[in-house]
Amino acid sequence: MPISPARTIALEVLRRVEAEGAYASDVLHAELGSRVTLENAALATEVTFGVLRWRRLLDFLLDRQLKKPIARLDLPVALALRIGLYQLRFLERVPTRAAVNESVELVKRARKSSAASLVNAVLRRASAENPEAHATTEANPIERLIPADLPLADRLGILHSHPTWLVERWLKNLGEADTVALLEADNRTPNLSCALHDPLQRDEVFAAIKSAGLRIEPPHLLKSAFAASGGSPARTEPFRRGLISIQDEASQTIPLLLGVESGEAVLDLCAAPGGKTPPLVRAAGSRGMVVATDRHAHRLRAMRNQFERLNLEGVQIVELDATHDFPFGRLFDRILVDAPCSGTGTLARHPEIRWRLSQEQLAEFHILQVRILASAIQQLAPGGRLVYSTCSMEPEENEDVVSEVLKSAPTIKRAPQNEVTKSLEPHLVPGLDAQNLVDANSQVRTSPATQRTDGFFAAVLIKTGATKP
């Protein structure tokens, strides 16, 4: 029996995510070449990310039908079961017969024919259990299947498919209502947001995207952003010509906080894959200088490719470990520290992170981030501005890092709140108050639950002393 390319691709992507530690978005980009139809690309993407988002709930339901936990099954068998059950529970337009039979064929293709009858029986029993249940409905029948005596964090973790330890900390930090809102946001398909590099080309870009069969949707944060649906913007002419980039709106916001002016020297640390560098280059202009660094050579190559697509010239790319002393013989007017982090603000876009991350790693990230920020401020010129940012929701990686570094850096201060809001106001969509994004410590926060973007944190810091003439 033939298997649809979509399900074959989904199985391979999920296998590599699980076995090799790959990221689903990267593997999908490689797998979904021009020979894959838009229909198959859409189904492969939906199944891949759906299985990753809902893995804990799927495993909970599958374990009810198995004699041994799904975690003890061979990986191809476990993945075929998850793929089948995800379609049965979440994709109403996929016939039960297709979801079950193709999962059976997947394990045969993976040379696990001995498990074919198991996959067939388990999925048929699972489809018969509360067949009307749909995990995204408001009155969720699955709640009845969860033991009533489970602690709240376990219960929410199963229902919303997150690890218990992460739910526990969010309940402590955010409260139950905000935690549930964040869990729900993490399981929504995120907007495919794009950055428009030249506002004067808006009409031309939008016309080309629409002619490619995509729909244009309005932004949530920035006037220069937009969302696209109904296909991939990467397959359009504006993307190939470097007129647009695919980038979350919260990520697009971070470079704006630096307030780069023409002629300034800018240092972009941990810059790969380079999404935040282009607006810095354009703002600095031909009289300015932008140095973009990263410690990994392969990420620098990806950044160079990105800059070539954008026809971006004049960027100095440097391989650099930002935790050590820098080799530069000068100070910089503006510095962006987009620090490596846990990525808990991107769990909708990168759902595999929730199954890889451990609580102990947050402390490790904190140490790394403190070292990078402490090194970076040594390169900041008097009167200069530095932005420290992460795509994390965790205090240890955000305000705790800034507070720790500021204790031993008397010349570094937080920028006044009104300066931060003023740097944002010209760029925000009409009706959005910049003060809703900036707290009393001049720290900018976005949330998947509130802004429907990735969850970002940014602190704006300035160095006291005479400014440049």
Give 412 or 469, the one with higher predicted confidence. 412
Residue 134 pLDDT grade (very low, low, confident, very high; cuts 50, 70, 90): very low
Task: Determine, yes or no, domain membership for 69.
Answer: yes
Q: What is the pLDDT of residue 131?
A: 47
Q: What is the pLDDT of residue 467?
A: 54
Mean pLDDT of all residues belonging to the chain: 93
Contact 443, 361 (CB under 8 A): no
Query: Residue 443's beta-bridge partner residues?
Result: 459
Q: What is the pLDDT of residue 138?
A: 43
CATH at 234:
3.30.70
Q: What is the pLDDT of residue 135?
A: 45
Retrieve residue 411's tokens: 């010349």
Residues 456 and 326 in one domain: yes
CATH at 81:
1.10.940.10
Task: Give the pLDDT mean for 414-422.
Answer: 95
Residue 72 predicted with pLDDT over 60:
yes
CATH at 332:
3.40.50.150
Indicate the number of domains in the chain. Answer: 4
Nearest Cα to Cα of residue 38 among 239, 277, 212, 278: 212
If DSSP codes are grouped into helix, strand and coil, which group holds residue 380?
Answer: strand
Residue 133 predicted with pLDDT over 60:
no
Task: Give the pLDDT mean for 246-252.
Answer: 97
Task: Determine, yes or no, domain membership for 142.
Answer: no
Residue 75 predicted with pLDDT over 80:
yes
Residues 29 and 130 in one domain: yes
Residues 227 and 175 in one domain: no
Task: Determine, yes or no, domain membership for 405.
Answer: yes
Convert the pLDDT of each residue in 374-404 to its tens digit: 999 999 999 999 999 999 999 999 999 999 9
Q: Comparing 325-329, 344-348, 376-380, 460-464, which segment has the lowest mean pLDDT?
A: 325-329
Residue 356 pLDDT grade (very low, low, confident, very high; cuts 50, 70, 90): very high
Residues 288 and 424 in one domain: yes
- Residue 204 to residue 25: CA distance in whole angstroms: 28
Residues 441 and 303 in one domain: yes
Residue 144 predicted with pLDDT over 90:
no
Q: What percent of the chain has pLDDT over 90?
A: 86
The phi and psi torsions of 457 (rounded to 5 degrees) equal -125, 140
Q: What percent of the chain has pLDDT over 70?
A: 97
Task: Determine, yes or no, domain membership for 341.
Answer: yes
Residue 294 pLDDT grade (very low, low, confident, very high; cuts 50, 70, 90): very high
How buried is 41 (Cβ within 10 angstroms: 0-12 exposed, 13-18 middle, 19+ buried)? buried
Task: Determine, yes or no, domain membership for 139.
Answer: no
Residue 468 predicted with pLDDT over 70:
no
Give 264 or 469, the one with higher predicted confidence. 264
Residues 211 and 315 in one domain: no
- Residue 272 to residue 317: CA distance in whole angstroms: 10
Task: Determine, yes or no, domain membership for 149.
Answer: no
Residues 429 and 442 in one domain: yes
- Residue 299 to residue 271: CA distance in whole angstroms: 9
Residues 118 and 14 in one domain: yes
Task: Determine, yes or no, domain membership for 391.
Answer: yes
Looking at 221, 246, 271, the residue that finishes a domain is: 246
* 72 Cβ contact partners less than 8 Å away, ≥ 6 residues apart: none
Q: What is the pLDDT of residue 307?
A: 95
Task: Determine, yes or no, domain membership for 140.
Answer: no
Convert the pLDDT of each residue in 29-56 to its tens digit: 889 877 888 899 999 999 999 999 999 9
Retrieve residue 324's tokens: 């050590």
Residue 465 pLDDT grade (very low, low, confident, very high; cuts 50, 70, 90): confident
Residue 420 predicted with pLDDT over 50:
yes
> Domain residues for 215?
193-246
Task: Give the pLDDT mean for 156-168.
Answer: 98
Residues 408 and 368 in one domain: yes
Residues 328 and 209 in one domain: no
- Which sequence positions are flagged as catalytic? 391
Give 465 or 333, the one with higher predicted confidence. 333
Residues 112 and 168 in one domain: no
Residue 140 predicted with pLDDT over 80:
no
- Residue 257 to residue 246: CA distance in whole angstroms: 20
DSSP state of 115: G
Residues 292 and 178 in one domain: no
